Amino acid sequence: MNKSQQIEEVIQQNNTEKLQEILNQLLIDVKDRKKSQILCQENIQQTLVHHITEFKTRNLELLVIDIIYNLVKRPSLGRYFTPEVSHEIISASLYTTNFDILRSLTRTPEQCEVISDLIPQVIDHIHNVSLLENTFVCYSIANLSKKYADQFISVFIDGVNTLCTSDISTIKEENLFALGEAFTSLSQHFTNKIKIASQVDEKLVSLKNKYKSNAVLCNIIRDIIQFLTK
């Protein structure tokens, strides 16, 4: 009996203690490359997602999210996370404690395509996170921007306003790079660029003049303005 079958059986038996034992062992196994591949072949990812409500009621949700994360973060296992499984994971908001799950599940156009109905929900969650502190949120936005840029206008405007009122010297360079990825990608793909540019241009130019010595920031602002005014 494989792990998926064990989980199904133990859920039916309503044995929370045994279920936690299986999940604890799973968390160890998914950190091993070979074992994680075998588990995915046995459809462990589908089993975990299908029973997420059961895990929530037993306070095992965070453990399951950790297991899923250790699987989705491996690009070599990407084929096991079909668009349908990705949709279930994102629909259940399992990424909100770890946005690298969202980034990992939006790598391909197919994965992005299948979650079109979930974008408003994703944006609501993103509004509750600081773009200046969470690189995975920024890279998720960059992934989604190619198809859904116009739905992210409020995220972009809010992000620019936050950036313009922040002390740039306190922002880590890696965070600035990630923010740049998100903002430049959005700027490339917005439909009504002129209207958006009219709301942010002056603020960004002022910020650029204030931090002339910050090459990373100045390059990001230059690219944003360039894309918005093309």
Range of the domain at 198: 112-230
* Domain termination site, one of 62, 81, 100: 81
pLDDT (0 to 100) of residue 230: 80
Q: Do 60 and 122 belong together in one domain? A: no
Q: Is residue 151 part of a domain?
A: yes
Amino acid at 68: I
Helices (H), the chain: 3-13, 16-29, 33-41, 44-50, 52-57, 61-72, 83-91, 100-104, 109-114, 119-126, 135-148, 153-164, 173-189, 193-210, 215-228
Is the pLDDT assigned to residue 132 strictly greater than 90? Answer: yes
In a domain, 54, yes or no: yes
Q: How far apart are CA 149 and CA 142, in angstroms?
A: 9
Specify burial of residue 91 (Cβ count, 10 A radius: 0-12, 13-18, 19+): middle
Residue 42 DSSP class? T
How does the average pLDDT of the chain come out, rounded? 95
Residues 191 and 125 in one domain: yes
Under 8 Å between Cβ of 144 and 122: yes
Here the tokens at position 106 are 């939006």
Domain total of the chain = 2
63-121 confidence digits (pLDDT tens) = 999 999 999 999 999 999 988 899 999 999 999 999 999 999 999 999 999 999 999 99
Whether 102 is in a domain gets the answer no
pLDDT tens digits along 37-68 = 999 999 999 999 999 999 999 999 999 999 99
pLDDT recorded at residue 85: 92
Question: Are both 68 and 133 inside the same structural domain?
Answer: no
123 and 226 belong to one structural domain: yes
Q: Which residues of 140-156 are buried (b: 16+ CB within 10 A; e: fewer)?
A: bbbbbbebbbeebbebb
Task: Give one word for 43, left, alpha or beta, with left for phi > 0 and alpha for psi -120 to 50.
Answer: left
Whole-model pTM: value is: 0.93
